[in-house]
Amino acid sequence: QQQVKQSPQSLIVQKGGISIINCAYENTAFDYFPWYQQFPGKGPALLIAIRPDVSEKKEGRFTISFNKSAKQFSLHIMDSQPGDSATYFCAASKGSNYQLIWGAGTKLIIKP
């Protein structure tokens, strides 16, 4: 019930295409769903986050879509660029203790 399942494990997308990474969770008490981006040799950094009271959040080329009934959320990267090549992690947390439950990560490669 504490797991967050992330797919795919790796993804190759052509420059200008749409990258889509999916996550699913079981625990309906989760109320915060962030996406982190990690470049090689660096620590993860928050990219975008959503709460279950909205179904979509957009920041620039990055969009989170949230489906509460299906217990799924996804990251869409529009007009993907080589600079977006990184590992992406979804996560979830509940309540006030802010412990994040992490997905396994997706290695995204954008081909020029």
Partner 1 sequence: DTAVSQTPKYLVTQMGNDKSIKCEQNLGHDTMYWYKQDSKKFLKIMFSYNNKELIINETVPNRFSPKSPDKAHLNLHINSLELGDSAVYFCASSEYSETQYFGPGTRLLVL
Instruction: Return residues touching partner 1 (CB under 8 A).
Output: 32, 34, 38, 41-46, 49, 87, 89, 93, 97-100, 102, 104-105, 107
Joined tokens for residue 98: 């802010």
- Residue 34 CB, shortest distance to partner 1, in Å, is 7
CB closer to partner 1 out of 15 and 51? 51
CB closer to partner 1 out of 30 and 110? 30
**Whole-angstrom distance, CA of residue 18 vs CA of residue 22:** 13
DSSP-assigned states of every residue in 33-94: EEEEEE-TTS--EEEEEE-TT-SEEEETTEEEEEETTTTEEEEEESS--GGG-EEEEEEEB-
- Residue 72 CB, shortest distance to partner 1, in Å, is 20
Do 60 and 46 form a contact (C-beta atoms < 8 A)? no
CB closer to partner 1 out of 30 and 63? 30
- Residue 15 CB, shortest distance to partner 1, in Å, is 23
